[in-house]
Structure 1
Amino acid sequence: MKNKTIDYILRATWQAVSRMYNEEAHKYDATMATGFALLSIDREEGTPSTALGPRMGMEATSLTRTLKSMEEKGLITRKKNPEDGRGVLIYLTDFGKEKRELSKNTVLNFNESVRKHISEEKINTFIEVAEIINELIQNKNIFNQQENSTNDIAKIQNH
């Protein structure tokens, strides 16, 4: 991937990972979004529906469709939040907990496979670079960087 832009590499890699997870999920009549939702819902306490979108980085409309599909398949149930009558808590059913384990094992399998082929040092560098990129974006330092890029990047790297 030499001579490719950083955003191209990130996008191409994420698309490959996404495609791989969706192919695996398809074997179980599911999607990557379903698997990710299963992993994002607290096994015992349930999770407020309003917390799931931000946790998963998903838009409300996409999340609504995913949750509706999961409810139709018997993976989740929705119950009123006893602490906030306006809110809804999402709970995993026993079937949902079973499928959650499958999703968890799939993710762990992926991580284990990658770690077999990449040194711990390179993995740590990758994580550090990804964290810096995320911080630059969150702090809106990408397109405003002409003013203070050197100082901001130095601050981030010293974390």
Structure 2
Amino acid sequence: MKEKTIDYVLRATWMAVSKMYNEEAGKAGSTMATGFALLSIDPEEGTPSTSLGPKMGMEATSLSRILKTMEEKGLIVRKKNPNDGRSVLIHLTEFGKEMRDYSKRVVLRFDEAVKENVSDKDLKTFIQVANTILELIGEKKIYREEIKIR
């Protein structure tokens, strides 16, 4: 294609961001997925394991692997939910809280760098466009009709 599609720009940008985050996480012996999980867990109250998957937009099997690795590395502990004995709360260990803070600094530094190089107006427009794309997908407004295969 001569011109880049919106899909291409989104995909290429996310792949670059993902690679950058993985490189930064690797410096601390971690991964982007682990950092994202750490940021999704309430550092004070813990988070029900059942709400983590939807919160992160992740399938249960992928999340299970990440949580298992995080537990093995001493980042989290699983505790019974005092309000519901059938569920489990994921709590951060002290090391998990340290790594959460590191992950948060990495994300905030990315935000700062973008804000230093993109005008407020352009950033606002970007966020509006991204939200519109999310709405179109969420409300299934893109593929209402089947696309025919020739």
User: When the two structures are superposed, what TM-score results if normalisation uses the length of structure 2?
Assistant: 0.93
Matched residue, 2:100: 100
CA root-mean-square deviation: 1.3
Alignment of 1:37-116 (within 5 A): 37-116=37-116
Counterpart-to-counterpart distance in 2, 1:75 and 1:127: 32
Equivalent residue of 1:112, what SS? helix
Gaps of 5+ in 1: 146-159
Give how far 1:86 is off. 1.2
Structure 1 runs of 4+ with >6 Å offset: none
Distance in 1 separating the partners of 2:41 and 2:73: 16
Identity %: 68
Q: How many residue pairs end up in the alignment?
A: 145
* Residue matched to 1:149: none
Deviation at 1:143, TM superposition (A): 1.2
Higher relative contact order (CA 8 A, sep 6+): 2
Measured against aligned partners, the alpha-carbon deviations of 1:72-96 in whole angstroms (never above 9, x if no partner) come to 0100000011111111100000110
Amino acid of the structure 2 residue aligned with 1:84 = D
Secondary structure at the counterpart of residue 88 of structure 2: strand
Question: Aligned-pair distance for 1:30?
Answer: 0.4
Tell me how far apart the structure 1 counterparts of residues 131 and 76 of structure 2 sit (CA, whole Å).
32
1:129 aligns with 2:110: no
Deviation at 1:121, TM superposition (A): 0.5
Distance 1:129 1:86 in 2: 41
In the superposition, the TM-score normalised over structure 1's length comes to 0.88
Deviation at 1:53, TM superposition (A): 0.6
Distance 1:41 1:91 in 2: 7
Question: How far apart, CA to CA, are the structure 1 residues paired with 2:52 and 2:125?
Answer: 29
Q: CA deviation at 1:64?
A: 0.4
